[in-house]
Amino acid sequence: MPPIEQLTEDGYDLQFGTNVLGHYYFTMLLLPALFAGTKTSGDGKARVVNTSSSTHMFSNMNFDTFADGPARKKAGTQTLYSQSKHVRVVRFVHVTFV
C-alpha cells in the first residue's frame, strides 16, 4: 500500500486511482478492440474479467476520501485499500446488470 501522502496527478487517493480509475480507463481503451473481436469470436461475445479482494467486505464508499483531504488522511491506508476494492466490486456488479 502506498503511503497516505501519495496521490494521483489529479489529486485522487493513489489506491483509488490505481484500483478503480486506472482499471476503468484501461477497460474503456480496450472496448473498441473487444467490440471488434465479437465479429470473429465463436459465440459473438467479448468478456472483461474483473478481480478484487475479500478485503472489499471491510469497507464501504466514503466519497470524501476519494480525493485528498482530512477525511482521507483520517481513514488510513488499510481503509483506503479496502474501499478501493469495494468500489471495484460495486462497479463490476453495476456494469454486469445494467
Query: Over the stretch 8-46, which tens digit does the pLDDT of each residue have?
Result: 999 999 999 998 899 889 988 998 999 999 999 999 988
d(CA 27, CA 44): 19
Name which of 18-27, 54-63, 67-76 the model is least confident about: 54-63
Would you state the pLDDT for residue 93?
58
Catalytic residue numbers read 52, 81, 85
Would you state the pLDDT for residue 97?
47
Per-residue pLDDT, averaged over 67-71, amounts to 92
d(CA 43, CA 22): 29
C-alpha cell at 91: 462497479
d(CA 57, CA 15): 16
